């Protein structure tokens, strides 16, 4: 590992790198992967997958060079992405610098499939290359999740009781919810995924292609929606809110009712049966006491009767 490679990473990521701790570099097509020895196999797999899937729905094939830096540990990852990124993120894309930073093989189990993670981040870069900063965050995140095939996002909606009780957020409210903490952000990602997936389904022949072309030309999502789908952005918003709540709101309610039943069985049921056992023992004790009292009463009556007979014989 050369000192030159260490300088490459230091320049790209703006962190101090020593020669003995310099990364290796793997160039494949328009991608350059920077990694440390322990992540060699991961870098090779990611490079092969990136080359094989280097196209994105509705967008022309990207041309920009991309650098993917694989952090050897979580601390290095936090140093490279900076304090501004979310604590729960496992990868971050920097569109202006055309680079991606992700956690290596030492990432926790919550980091997700690295192939899907990189695909998600590459979708951000591809969208930025074509539309610059036009897409709002809900569309940006929804598109990246849609491209990466993150169907698991829908599981979040299936247990989101807020959909059934409070209803769906507007797109503006969805935009704000990304900064509301981990739980709110996960819901925002899931809802954004549903929004973009529904947009793509409006025209099964062209998908998002016309939308992107008109959006880039007019720089207005509402105008692009009208031209591509014959629908206003407000009209789509109403459709998306109605269909998502109808599909997932009831599931969330049923899921939470089921969860309540499970909580009852696990937590309350033992208490209920314990009380039943105590009541049963108390009843058995009472019955035994009554039986003993009846027996004593009978014996007392018998003794009294025998005593009377003996008195009669003695007179």
For 90, which DSSP code?
Answer: S
Residues 6+ apart with CB under 8 A from 204: none
Please state which CATH number belongs to domain 1-133: 3.40.30
CB count within 10 Å of CB 141 equals 27
120's enclosing H/E stretch is helix 114-131
CB count within 10 Å of CB 213 equals 18
Contact at 8 Å (CB) between 15 and 79? yes
CB count within 10 Å of CB 204 equals 7
pLDDT tens for 92-130 read 999 999 999 999 988 876 778 999 999 999 999 999 999
Look-up of token digits 């109605």: 242
Rounded-to-integer distance, Cα 181 and Cα 65, Å: 33
Specify the pLDDT at position 152: 64
Please name which of 122, 120, 159 lies closest in space to residue 142, comparing C-alpha atoms: 120
Contact at 8 Å (CB) between 157 and 192? no
Q: What token pair was written down for 109? A: 């189990």
26-65 burial: b if 16+ Cβ within 10 Å, else e: beeeebbbbbbeebeebbeebbebbeeebebebbeebeee
Give pLDDT < 70 ranges for the chain: 1-21, 84-88, 109, 152-167, 249-274, 276, 279, 301-302, 305-315
Domain boundaries of the chain, sorted by first residue: 1-133
Rounded-to-integer distance, Cα 240 and Cα 232, Å: 12
Q: Write out the DSSP string of 207-232.
A: TTHHHHHHHHHHS-HHHHHHHHHS--
- Edge to edge, what strands does the sheet with 24-28 contain? 24-28, 31-35, 66-71, 99-103, 91-94
Q: What token pair was written down for 214? A: 């008109």
Specify the pLDDT at position 159: 44
């Amino acid at each position: 590992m050369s000192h030159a490679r260490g300088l490459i990473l230091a320049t790209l990521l703006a962190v101090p790198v020593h020669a003995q701790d310099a990364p290796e570099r793997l160039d494949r097509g328009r991608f350059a992967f920077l990694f440390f020895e322990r992540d060699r196999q991961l870098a090779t797999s990611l490079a092969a997958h990136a080359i094989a899937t280097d196209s994105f729905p509705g967008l022309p094939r990207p041309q920009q060079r991309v650098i993917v830096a694989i952090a050897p540990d979580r601390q290095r990852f936090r140093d490279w992405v900076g304090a501004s990124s979310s604590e729960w993120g496992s990868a971050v894309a920097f569109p202006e610098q055309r680079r991606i930073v992700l956690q290596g093989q030492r990432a926790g189990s919550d980091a997700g499939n690295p192939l899907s993670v990189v695909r998600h981040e590459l979708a951000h870069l591809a969208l930025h290359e074509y539309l610059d900063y036009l897409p709002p965050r809900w569309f940006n995140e929804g598109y990246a999740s849609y491209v990466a095939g993150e169907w698991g996002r829908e599981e979040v909606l299936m247990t989101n009781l807020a959909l059934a009780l409070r209803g769906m957020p507007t797109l503006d409210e969805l935009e704000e919810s990304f900064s509301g903490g981990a739980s709110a952000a996960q819901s925002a990602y899931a809802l954004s995924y549903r929004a973009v997936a529904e947009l793509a389904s409006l025209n099964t022949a062209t998908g998002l292609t016309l939308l992107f072309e008109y959006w880039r030309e007019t720089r207005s999502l509402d105008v692009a929606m009208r031209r591509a789908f014959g629908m206003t952005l407000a009209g789509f918003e109403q459709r998306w809110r109605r269909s998502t709540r109808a599909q997932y709101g009831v599931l969330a309610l049923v899921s939470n009712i089921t969860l309540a039943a499970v909580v009852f069985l696990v937590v309350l049921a033992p208490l209920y049966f314990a009380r039943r056992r105590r009541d049963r023992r108390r009843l058995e004790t009472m019955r035994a006491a009554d039986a003993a009292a009846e027996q004593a009463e009978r014996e007392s009556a018998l003794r009294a009767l025998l005593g009377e007979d003996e008195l009669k014989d003695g007179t």
